[in-house]
Amino acid sequence: MFDLRLKILLGGFSLALLVIAVRLTELQVVKADYYRNAAERSLLLKPKRLPFVRGRILDRTGEVLVSDQPCWDLMIDFDAIAFGIAKDPQSGEDLLTLWKRSGRAPQGVSHGSLVASLENELDDMWRDLDAFAQRHWYEAEQAAQDRCRTLYDRVRRIREAVARRRGFDAPVAEERVRHTIMPALDGDQQIAARESFLRYPWIRVERSSVRRFAHNTTSLAHVLGRMTRVSAKDIAHDPNNEDPFGRYRADETRGATGVEYSSETLLRGRRGRMTLDRDGNVVTSEMIEAENGSDVSLTINANLQRRLYRLLGATVDQVPESGGGAIVVMDVPSREVLALVSYPSYDPNRFDEWYATLRDDTVGLPLRFRAVSNRYSPGSIIKPFVCLTGLTSGVIDLNSRETCTGYLFEDHRDRWRCWQMHGSSRRKAHGDVDVVEALTGSCNIFMYRLGEHLGVDGMTSAFDMIGIGRSSGIGFREESYGINPTSSWLATNKGLRTTPGLARLYAIGQGELSMTPIQVASLMATYASGTYRDATLVGAAEQKPAWTLPGDRESWQAIRSGMYGVVNDPDGTAYKYAHFVNDRYALVGKTGSATAYPWPTAYNV
């Protein structure tokens, strides 16, 4: 009985072993090729980055001013950079593995000989890159190895910054990807690059895009802005640091100035990812589509901008002592900026090519965004607002009068004078004037007295209501905020106390008080509407809040009547320059001139 059971048990084991042997034979012999191919297909290649297209910038009519255009980038694995520049051992091992897989590495040699061959291969690569740049690429002045050394240093700084944030050191994403070494290749260049670098498996030519400005955008160069390479600081402080598809990479660019900077979050998209198997098929489950950036529509009218730029250029050319100028056109109700002109400017498509010349032009200062960056003493254009402040505070009323003999102090005619009459050494004597007459003739003596009564604090508190000392609202990083010289500002920045003399200067728009051209345009819109609102440059933005300035109807009517007289009264300071008769329109304005200190144009050391 026992023998029978033992035979049955052994028979069962034998049958099971037979089934396993048959199955193994089927797997390893009959269907070996099938399963080998299936295993190969299951191995995925390194995911490929899918770039996004940066959003376009358009004017208010829909004209495209800036857009991304298709091109190709010559890219190199960071392992090749790290081993070629710093002889990083881990990068060297990874590079050897890639070289062996490509079938281009020497066979049957020792590891040491293989490393030496790899170093020679990289030396050949640097020479080939420089030769290619000399023949095909416009930025051939800097050696390829030097460009890669800069890139290597940038990635190392990124790693250090991330390590400080994390609290421990570890490789960062920038060390595991390819980096652009020659961007924006055209069709012929990319074909030549593929042929020139076929032997190097760590170099690839990949599709990309490049930022291009539309034809005839010289007048808009400052407004549109420029792009720059991402820095270690950008990456360390990137708000999208936790988003692997939205965060900055070391080989990318970002907006540096103008709208490119202020609308960076709108214009920038999110990268995608594509994964292939060994047969080159897309693995659908691993696919992540790139998200392109949004278009940005400006309130600027490009044709108006170009026309004003030409007119301003013709005027500046007629005044040899002038280095340039600015024009700002603003819609009064909405504060939409219709034109923001700085002259001289430059062709933004040739900025890199002309940079050295633009930088060294210390007379025209073509890189200076005058309309938003330059601070000027406003001069007499501040007088209407100072008068309004006096009327609303009760310091003066509509019947208040001052007598102007041309001098505030008859015994000291060398100081505190009214303005000098053109072509002579005589000072304007306006006689007995009220608010309207003082503004029409731009009487300094009236304003000196008013400034004494208001005091520095009374005026600077009012200046805050019209945005002096704050951003105009357009969001440009190169914007200056002007100076509102409050008591605390004077003490902190100048070590000064408030005095009647300072109050007189501020009442005529001089001294430390300063404004930018865009702030001046906003001030004129405030005179016209009675309300203050931040300026708007991006058309899709919601209308910004406005607040009504103090002052009754009669007070506002008085300062507007004075400004009307500036242009339309024969005694007005702008009558002979700007007066015109039109059935549909009346021109209202205010002349303003102030002492301006010259810019240094050269230095002797």
CA 273, 274, 275, 278 dihedral sign is negative
Looking at the predicted structure, is the pLDDT value of residue 158 above 90?
no
CB-CB contact of 572 with 598 (8 Å): no
Q: Where are the alpha helices (DSSP H) in 87-143?
A: 89-101, 111-136
Q: Which amino acid is at 104?
A: R
Looking at the predicted structure, is the pLDDT value of residue 402 above 90?
yes
Per-residue model confidence (pLDDT) at position 6: 67
Looking at the predicted structure, is the pLDDT value of residue 41 above 60?
no
Looking at the predicted structure, is the pLDDT value of residue 599 above 70?
no
- The larger pLDDT score, comparing residue 14 to residue 162, is at 162
Distance CA 435, CA 433 (A): 7
Per-residue model confidence (pLDDT) at position 45: 62
Strand, helix or coil at 443?
coil
Looking at the predicted structure, is the pLDDT value of residue 159 above 70?
yes
Looking at the predicted structure, is the pLDDT value of residue 71 above 60?
yes
Query: What is the rounded average pLDDT of the residues 311-320?
Result: 92
Looking at the predicted structure, is the pLDDT value of residue 40 above 90?
no
The set of residues, in sequence order, having a beta carbon less than 8 Å from that of 405 and lying 6+ positions away, is 429, 445
Distance CA 467, CA 533 (A): 9
> How far are the Cα atoms of 445, 532, 569 from residue 556, in angstroms, in the given order?
22, 14, 19
Per-residue model confidence (pLDDT) at position 171: 85
> How far are the Cα atoms of 59, 228, 382, 484 from residue 491, in angstroms, in the given order?
44, 38, 23, 13
Domain spanning 377-527+545-578, CATH architecture: 3-Layer(aba) Sandwich (3.40)
Task: Give the gyration radius of the chain's Cα atoms.
Answer: 36
Per-residue model confidence (pLDDT) at position 421: 66
Asked which of 33-42, 80-89, 181-190 is least confident by mean pLDDT, the reply is: 33-42
Asked which of 323-337, 422-436, 502-516 is least confident by mean pLDDT, the reply is: 422-436
Per-residue model confidence (pLDDT) at position 462: 96
Domain boundaries, the chain: 75-208, 377-527+545-578
Distance CA 178, CA 403 (A): 77
Query: What is the rounded average pLDDT of the residues 138-156?
Result: 82
> How far are the Cα atoms of 81, 249, 310, 382 from residue 577, in angstroms, in the given order?
65, 56, 20, 20
Q: What is the pLDDT of residues 103-130, one digit of tens each?
A: 888 888 888 899 999 999 999 999 999 9
Q: What does the buried/exposed string (b/e) look like for 205-239 if buried means 16 or more CB atoms within 10 Å of the residue's CB?
A: beebbbbbbbeebbbbbbbbbbbeebebebbbebe
Q: What is the pLDDT of residues 207-239, one digit of tens each?
A: 888 899 998 999 999 999 999 988 878 888 888
pLDDT band at 328 (very low <50, low <70, confident <90, very high): very high
Q: How many CA atoms lie within 13 A of 259 on its CB side?
A: 28
The candidate with the shortest Cα–Cα distance to 75, out of 173, 203, 209, is: 203
Query: What is the rounded average pLDDT of the residues 52-71?
Result: 93
Per-residue model confidence (pLDDT) at position 38: 56
Residue 554 has a CB neighbour count (10 Å cut-off) of 10
Residue 562 has a CB neighbour count (10 Å cut-off) of 25
Percent of the chain topping pLDDT 70? 88
Per-residue model confidence (pLDDT) at position 374: 93
Is the pTM value of this prediction over 0.85?
A: no
Q: What is the pLDDT of residues 477-526, one digit of tens each?
A: 999 999 999 999 999 999 999 999 999 999 999 999 999 999 999 999 99
Query: What is the rounded average pLDDT of the residues 28-47?
Result: 61
CB burial class (10 A; 0-12, 13-18, 19+) of residue 584? exposed
Q: What is the pLDDT of residues 254-312, one digit of tens each?
A: 999 999 999 999 999 998 888 776 666 767 767 888 899 999 999 999 999 999 999 99
Structure tokens at 515: 């404004």
CB-CB contact of 577 with 494 (8 Å): no
Residue 347 has a CB neighbour count (10 Å cut-off) of 14
Q: What are residue 381's phi and psi, to 5 degrees?
A: -70, -15
Distance CA 266, CA 52 (A): 13
